[in-house]
């Protein structure tokens, strides 16, 4: 652990805030000029996103954002049953259209979106005079700022100020970082898991458990993050120089269980998986199926779990819209995964490795999923910090793609 981690200076915080505000202004400028001067997507059926009356601020709730607002306003059951007046709710919420109303399969997409974010929108909507949109924008903006703070605090436990701020920059200009600046739950989720891991590292187990449980109420990916959390707990007290499988030796298993008796507060970590389990129980109560959220999804891009080589081949056969978008970043992901060995804390490498394995088995799973791998950005920053050419090539490429996908998203083109 970095000995200077607890001594983050005012100058460092000023840099963090300046970076967060600067990137936010850049995104808002991109959204503004893109909607003003570039064409919107044309859909065969009427879509609220591309109506002439739709404002820029409305388009901040495109795609998933609309679902969060619908869930907040109507609830899962009423929304999926179609038990509402479409014309009335369109006037009230705007983010409604006939496709989602008439198509029972489409309506089940509500269950893809886990409940914490829409619950928060519903709670805060009265503060904004009943506007679910404004409540969603406020929450996502608030957690965008908190994410920067939590990310930097976590990074400084192990890395220098230069690597920490560079890692934050890489996160904020990732090609899918438009999701941090619209009514999506990425900013909320990343804040919760960053804070969860930070307090785990600081041995404040109650806060870690509560924040991890809230993360489980936010996204299914929290189930995957249990892997590095468990590994971090088992590895506690073991030198970083020790091998990857050192925590699984018999003597270290005994020590891990002994710590529960020595410090019972560690039992608060049991709260972390309860968040995901609570969502499953909630969905079971609402719909009769705990796994209803899987119905609108294929299990992967290809509809099944497949071998790594097969994933690459089938992705190529799906055409350039898939492989030109997903595979270059998947290649970067793979290279960082390989070359970050022994460059970042072992539990962080396990975090990167477990998500890389999932993406590999299921096929490269879109731009948004790598955004959820906090250590990926720290590993990348660690690798290119002293490589000026590589660093600037990556920043230029990432910012260019970030701009392109932000323009597409705000104008109603689905970016997957």
Q: How far apart are CA 28 and CA 218, in angstroms?
A: 25
Query: Would you state the pLDDT for residue 367?
Result: 74
Contacts 24+ apart (CB under 8 A), 273-278: 273/216, 273/223, 273/226, 274/213, 274/216, 275/212, 275/213, 275/214, 275/215, 275/216, 275/217, 275/218, 275/222, 276/216, 276/217, 276/220, 276/222, 276/223, 277/216, 278/213, 278/216, 278/217
Q: How far apart are CA 173 and CA 179, in angstroms?
A: 11
Query: Would you state the pLDDT for residue 309?
Result: 57
State the DSSP string of 46-90: --GGG-TT--HHHHTTTTHHHHHHHHHHH-HHHHHHT-S-HHHHH
Residue numbers in the chain where pLDDT is lower than 50: 3, 299-301
18 and 26 in contact (C-beta within 8 Å)?
A: no
Whole-model pTM: value is 0.94
Residue-wise pLDDT for 319-346, tens only, equals 676 667 777 888 888 999 999 999 999 9
- 113, with CB counted inside 10 A (0-12, 13-18, 19+), is buried
Query: Would you state the pLDDT for residue 325?
Result: 72
Query: Would you state the pLDDT for residue 6?
Result: 59
Quote the distance between the C-alpha of residue 176 and its chain's center.
10
Query: Would you state the pLDDT for residue 71?
Result: 95
Q: What 8-state DSSP symbol labels residue 40?
A: P
Query: Would you state the pLDDT for residue 299?
Result: 43
Q: Which 3 state secondary structure label does DSSP give 147?
A: helix
Cα separation of the two ends of the chain = 37
Q: Which helix (H) or strand (E) holds 296?
A: none
Map 367-416 to HEC letters.
CCCHHHCHHHHHHHHHHHCCCHHHHHHHHHHHHHHHHHHHHHHHCCCCCC
**Considering only CA atoms, which of 174, 167, 216, 173 is closest in space to residue 193?**
216
Q: How far apart are CA 383 and CA 339, in angstroms?
A: 8
410 and 59 in contact (C-beta within 8 Å)?
A: yes
Sign (positive/negative) of CA torsion 401, 406, 412, 414? Answer: positive
Q: How far apart are CA 7 and CA 364, in angstroms?
A: 39
Query: Would you state the pLDDT for residue 45?
Result: 74
State the DSSP string of 297-337: S-SSTTSS---HHHHHHHHHHT-HHHHHHHHHHHHHHHHHH
Q: How far apart are CA 392 and CA 384, in angstroms?
A: 9
* Exposure class string for 337-351: b at 16+ Cβ within 10 A, else e: beebeeebbbbbbbb
> Helices 222-235 and 250-262: crossing angle, nearest 10°?
90
Contacts 24+ apart (CB under 8 A), 335-341: 336/376, 336/379, 336/380, 336/383, 337/379, 339/383, 340/375, 340/379, 340/380, 340/382, 340/383
Residue-wise pLDDT for 228-239, tens only, equals 999 999 999 899
Query: Would you state the pLDDT for residue 46?
Result: 78
Contacts 24+ apart (CB under 8 A), 240-249: 240/345, 240/346, 244/346, 244/349, 244/350
């Amino acid at each position: 652990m970095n000995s200077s981690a607890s001594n983050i200076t005012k100058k460092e915080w000023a840099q963090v805030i300046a970076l967060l505000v600067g990137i936010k202004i850049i995104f808002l400028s991109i959204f503004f000029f893109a909607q003003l001067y570039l064409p919107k997507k044309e859909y065969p059926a009427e879509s609220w996103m591309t109506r002439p009356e739709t404002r820029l601020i409305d388009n901040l709730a495109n795609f998933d954002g609309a679902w969060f607002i619908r869930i907040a306003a109507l609830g899962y059951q009423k929304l999926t049953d179609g038990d509402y007046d479409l014309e009335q709710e369109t006037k009230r919420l705007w983010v409604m259209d006939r496709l989602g109303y008439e198509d029972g399969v489409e309506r089940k997409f509500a269950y893809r979106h886990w409940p914490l974010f829409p619950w928060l929108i519903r709670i805060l909507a009265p503060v904004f005079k009943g506007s679910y949109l404004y409540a969603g924008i406020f929450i996502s903006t608030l957690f965008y700022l908190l994410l920067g703070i939590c990310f930097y605090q976590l990074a400084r436990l192990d890395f220098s100020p230069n690597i920490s701020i560079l890692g934050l920059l890489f996160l904020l200009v990732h090609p899918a970082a438009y999701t941090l600046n619209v009514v999506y739950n990425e900013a909320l989720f990343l804040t919760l898991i960053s804070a969860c891991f930070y307090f785990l590292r600081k041995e404040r187990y109650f806060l870690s458990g509560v924040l991890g449980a809230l993360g489980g109420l936010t996204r299914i990916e929290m189930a995957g993050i249990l892997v590095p959390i468990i590994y971090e707990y088992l590895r506690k007290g073991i030198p970083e120089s020790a091998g990857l499988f050192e925590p699984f030796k018999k003597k270290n298993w005994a020590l891990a269980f002994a710590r529960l008796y020595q410090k019972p507060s560690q039992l608060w970590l049991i709260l972390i998986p309860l968040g995901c389990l609570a969502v499953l129980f909630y969905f079971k109560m609402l719909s009769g199926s705990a796994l209803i959220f899987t119905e609108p999804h294929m299990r992967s891009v290809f509809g099944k779990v497949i071998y790594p080589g097969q994933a690459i081949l089938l992705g190529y056969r799906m055409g350039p819209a898939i492989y030109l978008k997903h595979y270059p970043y998947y290649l970067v992901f793979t290279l960082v995964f390989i070359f970050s060995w022994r460059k970042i804390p072992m539990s962080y490498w396990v975090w990167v490795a477990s998500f890389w394995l999932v993406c590999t088995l299921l096929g490269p799973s879109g731009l948004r999923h790598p955004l959820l791998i906090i250590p990926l950005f720290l590993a990348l920053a660690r690798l290119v910090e002293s490589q000026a050419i590589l660093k600037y090539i990556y920043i230029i490429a990432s910012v260019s793609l970030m701009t392109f996908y932000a323009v597409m998203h705000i104008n109603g083109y689905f970016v997957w």
